[in-house]
Amino acid sequence: MIYLDHNATSPAHPQVLEEALPFLTEHFGNPSSAHSLSRRPRAAVEQARARLAAWAGCEAREVVFTGGATEANHLALRGVRRPGRPLVSAVEHPSVLAPGESLGAERIPVDGQGRIRLDALAELLRKPTTVVSVMAANNETGVLSDLPAVADLVHHAGALLHVDAAQVIGRRAAPGRWDLLTVTGHKAGGFKGGGALCVREGIHLAPELLGGGQERGRRSGTTNPAPLVSLGVVATLEHSPELRALRDRFEQAAIGLGGVVTASEAQRLWNTCNVRFPGVPSDLVVMGMDLEGVAVSAGSACSSGASQASPVLTEMGITTADALRVSLGWNTTQADIAAGIAALTVVLERIRAQGLSAEGTA
Ligand code: PLP
């Protein structure tokens, strides 16, 4: 199987396996125990904390380890207790939108390229605001947010800026001026279940999970060394510039096959290609590619299998269910891209020959 769906999750990186696997076998101790079996896991978790802090540009004590980005997003939104309501960008991941909704959040609209509308944000900030949640890079389109401009507005209004960087760690430099920063390891070679919320010193957060008082009382639950060590490794990874050229090669081929690249005018993450084939239902393309041995996604993993337009693309004014998401990662090769293009060519030809259209099957 050729894997071109890294924004959903990625295979473990060899360095991750080397460093993290021993914490599932011989060094299995609980890092909080008093006996000597706790020492190795405790030291490894603290090394991971230091590595993550170095990437994020913060102090190790500002890192709160969690079970992934979903949990970190909940902690960021629900943990900030101040007068006012949160603001969330309309294209956030559901793990931001859902807790936001439970707190009466208002949504910041995006333009047709998926970029935050700064004029709308400025207007929304006129009312008391607790925290503003804007993702670093969108999981479906790869669109990068203009975080310096967002931070200027948010901080001028006296609110806190939360940045979901789930798709960015292990792929590019950390954003600069956040107050709360979400990460997860499994999109770039880490294990699932290892994430963190980085919290600037002085911000009081009400914990979501109460119990044993791990993570200095900010997140209880037995520390899980293997995924956290893997996250620490991911924080040290750098991508090769050749991978962007591979994405561009796929994109050019897709355009040649009648594709329209989503958000082509926006700054985008190097690994993501979201492309629409007007009139061709994306679920048929995903299934066809799967039969050809290539794993890709329609819109997002959460909405794949469903033939509705993705909520993210709908916010951008695209209401047809004809978008394909191809996302590259640390192990993607020239040969993978060539096979992906070949499979796409065959699948589109077959669907078009059968005369199926997005409208026809809706
Ligand atoms: N935020 C974004 C932008 C994502 O792409 C994902 C991935 O699904 C998440 C949050 C949730 O991450 P996790 O699987 O670590 O809970």
Task: Give which of 284, 329, 307 is closest to 142, Cα–Cα.
Answer: 329
Q: Are 261 and 337 in contact (CB under 8 A)?
A: no
Taking the C-alpha atoms of residue 243 and residue 213, their distance in angstroms, rounded to an integer, is 42
Q: Report pLDDT digits (tens) over 120-132.
A: 999 999 999 999 9
Residues of the chain with pLDDT > 90: what percent? 93
Task: Give which of 240, 297, 302, 233 is closest to 271, Cα–Cα.
Answer: 240
135 three-state secondary structure = coil
Give yes or no for residue 306 having a pLDDT over 60. no
Ligand 1: which of 70, 164, 186, 228 to mutate, most ligand atoms within 8 Å of CB? Answer: 70
User: At residue 359, what are phi and psi to the nearest 5 degrees?
Assistant: -65, -45
Taking the C-alpha atoms of residue 58 and residue 200, their distance in angstroms, rounded to an integer, is 8
Q: Report pLDDT digits (tens) over 80-105.
A: 999 999 999 999 999 999 999 999 99
Residues 219-223: what's their mean pLDDT? 97
Q: Cα(93) to centroid of ligand 1, in Å?
A: 7
Q: What is the model's pLDDT at position 309?
A: 84
Token pair, residue 270, equals 């190097």
Strand partners, 108: 89
Domains and CATH numbers, the chain: 14-234 (3.40.640.10), 239-354 (3.90.1150.10)
With tokens 């070679």, the residue in question is: 189
Q: What is the model's pLDDT at position 91?
A: 98
Residues 345-349: what's their mean pLDDT? 98
Q: Are 181 and 195 in contact (CB under 8 A)?
A: no
Q: What is the model's pLDDT at position 25?
A: 96
Ligand 1 binding pocket (C-beta < 6 A) is: 68-70, 93, 95, 135, 139, 164, 166-167, 184, 195
Q: Cα(70) to centroid of ligand 1, in Å?
A: 6
Averaged pLDDT of the chain: 95
Give yes or no for residue 305 having a pLDDT over 70. no
Q: Are 269 and 243 in contact (CB under 8 A)?
A: no
Q: What is the model's pLDDT at position 303?
A: 46
Task: Give which of 243, 86, 267 is closest to 160, Cα–Cα.
Answer: 86
Angle at 216 between CA 199 and CA 172, to 5 degrees: 35
Q: Cα(240) to centroid of ligand 1, in Å?
A: 23
Give yes or no for residue 223 having a pLDDT over 90. yes
Strand partners, 160: 131
Q: Are 166 and 184 in contact (CB under 8 A)?
A: yes
Task: Please name the residue whose Cα sits nearest to atom 4 of ligand 1.
Answer: 166
Selecting among 58, 198, 273, 302, the annotated active-site residue is 302
For residue 106, give Cα distances in angstroms to 23, 115, 118: 42, 17, 14
Residue 273 is among the residues annotated as catalytic for this protein: no
